[in-house]
Every structure is written in C-alpha cells, then in structure tokens.
Amino acid sequence: MAPTKKRLVLSRAQAACLRALRGHELLKSEIAIETKLSLVTIARELYRLADLGLVKRDQIRKWHVTARGKTCRFETVP
C-alpha cells in the first residue's frame, strides 16, 4: 500500500493569501485588495504561512510563494 500524503490544514484567510500569491509577487496591500481582507489579517496570516515554508518576502518587501507553496495541497477550515 502506498502511504497517503497529508494535506495541510489552512484557515480561510491563509488559503486566500496563498491563492492570491500563486503566480504573482505582491505587496501586503495588494494582497489585501485582492482577497478583500484587512491588512492586519493579511500580515498575521502571511507570517504564519512563512513559518510553514509556503511563502517568503524578498528584499523589496514583495511576498511570493516558495516551491513548496506552489505545489502543496491543502484543506480549508473556518
């Protein structure tokens, strides 16, 4: 039997941030506009996603997904 891969469990805000960043490099304000969430929420969730290794910030303060963030599968919880 092949082992089943575990999916990450992300909040709705985390999932929205990750979806917005896939294929783009965005500032926090641009992510907030695209996801229709507050800047405080965006900042908190981006740092949580960075702790998981899914996103990172470059030197000009734009956020983008890592290689793991591009291919990971996840489930969304409220």
Q: Please write the tens of the pLDDT for every residue from 15-31.
A: 999 999 998 899 999 99
Helix 28-35, helix 39-51: angle, nearest 10: 110
- What pTM did the predictor assign? 0.86
Q: How much of the chain, in percent, has pLDDT values that exceed 90?
A: 74
Q: How much of the chain, in percent, has pLDDT values that exceed 70?
A: 94
Structural tokens at position 35: 């996801």
Given pLDDT bands bounded at 50, 70 and 90, which one contains residue 1? very low
Q: Which fold has domain 8-77?
A: Arc Repressor Mutant, subunit A (1.10.10)
Cβ-proximal residues to 43 (8 Å cutoff; 6+ apart), any chain: 28
Given pLDDT bands bounded at 50, 70 and 90, which one contains residue 11? very high
Q: Is the pLDDT of residue 50 over 60?
A: yes
DSSP symbol at 60: T
Backbone φ, ψ for residue 11 (5° rounding) = -75, 170
